[in-house]
Amino acid sequence: AVITVFTSTPLNFFAPVGENCVSVIGDLPCQPCCNKTCQFNHYDCTKLPKPQEIINIVNKLSENKTYSV
């Protein structure tokens, strides 16, 4: 299984494809921005998703259940 977490990078260009590939991105209006530095100076995208969300995804994948974000 592959789990990718996207911050400022566009998901649609770099997300892995295939079975059991899950891509996660936060739900912020400024994402994706493709910048190395935050124009709003808060870097909130680097704080998402929360660790528990990733743990939940890993648990679902390890149970061989289909998971979609």
Nearest to 1 by CA among 24, 21, 23, 25: 21
Number of H helices, E strands in the chain: 2, 2
Give 26-67 pLDDT, tens digit per residue.
Answer: 889 999 999 999 999 999 999 999 999 999 988 888 887 555
- How sure is the predictor about 69, in pLDDT bands with cuts at 50, 70 and 90? low
pTM, to two decimals: 0.72
Give 6-27 pLDDT, tens digit per residue.
Answer: 999 988 888 888 877 889 988 8
